[in-house]
Copies of this chain bind each other. A is one copy, B any other.
Amino acid sequence: MNSSQTQPSSRLRVLIVGGVAAGASAAARARRLSEGAHITIIERGPDVSFANCGLPYHIGGEIADRSRLALHTPESLAELLNVEVRTRTEAVAIDARGRTLALRNLDTGAEETLSYDKLVLAPGAAPLRPPLPGIDNPAIHTLRSLQDMDRIKAAAASARSVLIVGGGFIGLEMVEQLRHLEKQVTLVETNDQVLPQVDAEIAGPIASTLRTHDVELVLGDAAESFAPGKSPAGDAVVTRLKSGREITADMVILSIGVKPENALASAAGLELGARGAIKVNQWMQTSDPDIYAAGDVVEGADRIFGGAMHLALGGPANRQGRVIADHIFLGPEKAHPYPGHIGTAIVRVFDMAAGVTGWTEKRLRQAGTAFESTIVTDHQHAGYYPGATPLTIKLLWSPADGRLLGAQAFGADGVDKRLDVLATALAGRMSIDELAQLELAYAPPFGSARDVVNTAAFTAQNQRDGLVKIVPKITADRHLIDVRPQAVASIDPLPDSTNIPFSDLRSRLGELDAGKKYAVTCSLGKTSYFAARILMQHGFDVVSVAGGLKMSRPVES
């Protein structure tokens, strides 16, 4: 407790640029560690400590009270932390040698220079707004601040149709909230799937959900220019897509990603990463050890493979801010380093949720890394207990040692739980064998004796151990056997297949040809696995289709 008691004498001058997630967290922890430090928060906007992540939900009306989004006013934050808070003040230049920061008051234009012992850069990231023709139309919005939110909410009040450009996490939240407001919503996404952060098997069901909720999806196309136009509601924007198609909407929301607010850092010569984010070490120190950076502006280390990674999420920003304060005031012996990013994100899309943790198949393929993929669907809790709904989990794992590399999930309930379990497993560098034996909380309302995480890991083990060969889709080179019950297969027949219900399989083996190659399928991939085991043991060359017809023949792509 000695260190703590010596703090009041310390009059370290800490300047923090950015007063929201990373910045306010650094300030708060710094004050708890040192009553004596002189802490100043410099914030360009009028607000500090607000819940960026809540903005879409106020637009949609779910969070009715706007003031809930401001966790603090500048005044209450200053009082709570006994810090100086300067809003509407932009940090304009760092003199790293002289350890000073130049500021400009945005209301008065007055400039000032403050000196620091430690500088913390937490300026976040700005929404991308590419220089496309017509982009300056005031009906084209981006969402980052409370003011952006107010503008969108006001515009939405009179709009009937909205075009969302970009189908990532924030884009999908906006789609959902604007449909809550009963707007006519179109979503344009460059990729051939929604939510490019996940793989196709998870994006497919999200797309179905969106369509069920009357969202028009335009995939594999991009906005190229904007022009003023007219709609039944009045003035509108006509967005011209790469394909030539034109979409008229009363307002446009761009949610195509963010770019780190690196101007200050870049001008000061701090090292930047490939995507323009500030490079930091495990203590969040930039290339200048007296200058720290945290949040959306930094490039962190990827915990899975160790490379560089830019992750713009609230949790990491908050925790990084805390690490900075610890390093400044507790020193490297007592502080605990930021361990790097996993990449865990979730989005609710109407009555469904989807998310990811760690690496996706796409990233693994791009990196040329060896991986195996396992996809299973099961109930989120005991099937016999009311309210059981399907939950799909995709695991990516290393064929070398079974180590989990990433996971994704989709379902109506329990998606967040499975992602959190799998994110924890990634942090613990666990393997599919460890996942198979996780002892998760089970009572009928909450789980199953074998949780879907266990089941997914069992299936991965079976693939790894050669008990079954699971293929991602039905291909023409194998004769297809549909092992669903005859009653199901006759209502919903599968073309180019032979229906041999699983219950008949053992007695009908004689109908099969030892010289042929077979693929078996069913609804979910479980019965086809059982069938494949029988056929393999009788010497047949057989594969089972991953995830069954639910995955290989989804309602839409």
The chain A residues found within 8 Å of chain B, CB to CB, are: 1, 4-5, 7-8, 21, 32-36, 51, 53-54, 57, 62-63, 68-69, 71, 79-80, 82, 169, 173, 313-319, 322, 330, 334, 336, 338-339, 341-348, 353, 355, 357, 382, 384-386, 416-417, 419-421, 423-425, 427-430, 433-434, 436-447, 449-451, 454, 458, 461, 465-467, 503, 506, 530, 533-534, 536-539
Contact = CB atoms under 8 A, between A and B. Distances in A.
Contacts of A430: 424, 427-428
A7 B533 CA distance: 11
Contacts of A439: 315-316, 341-344, 357, 423, 427
A444 B539 contact: no
Contact of A466 (B4, B322, B454): B4
A330 B80 CA distance: 63
14 contacts: A4-B466, A4-B533, A5-B536, A21-B449, A32-B530, A63-B386, A314-B449, A336-B433, A336-B461, A344-B439, A344-B440, A345-B441, A416-B441, A427-B439
Contacts of A33: 467, 533
Number of copies of this kind of chain in the complex: 2
A446 B385 contact: no
Given A428-B424, A433-B336, A54 B444 contact: yes
Given A423-B439, A428-B428, A385 B63 contact: yes
Given A35-B538, A538-B35, A382 B51 contact: yes
Given A8-B538, A416-B417, A51 B82 contact: no
B417 A315 contact: no
Contacts of A318: 449-450
A53 to B, nearest CB: 6
Contacts of A338: 437
A283 B35 CA distance: 57
B428 A434 contact: yes
B314 A385 contact: no
Contacts of A533: 4, 32-33, 35
Nearest to A447: B416
List the 10 shortest-distance A-B pairs measured between CB atoms, nearest first. Answer: A428-B428, A314-B449, A346-B441, A416-B446, A417-B417, A68-B384, A419-B441, A424-B424, A342-B439, A35-B537
A54 B317 CA distance: 43
Contacts of A449: 21, 53, 314-315, 317-318
A424 to B, nearest CB: 4
A467 B4 CA distance: 7
A57 to B, nearest CB: 6
Contact of A355 (B21, B434, B441, B537): B441
Contacts of A434: 339, 427-428
Contact of A437 (B336, B347, B385, B445): B336
Given A63-B385, A384-B69, A443 B169 contact: yes
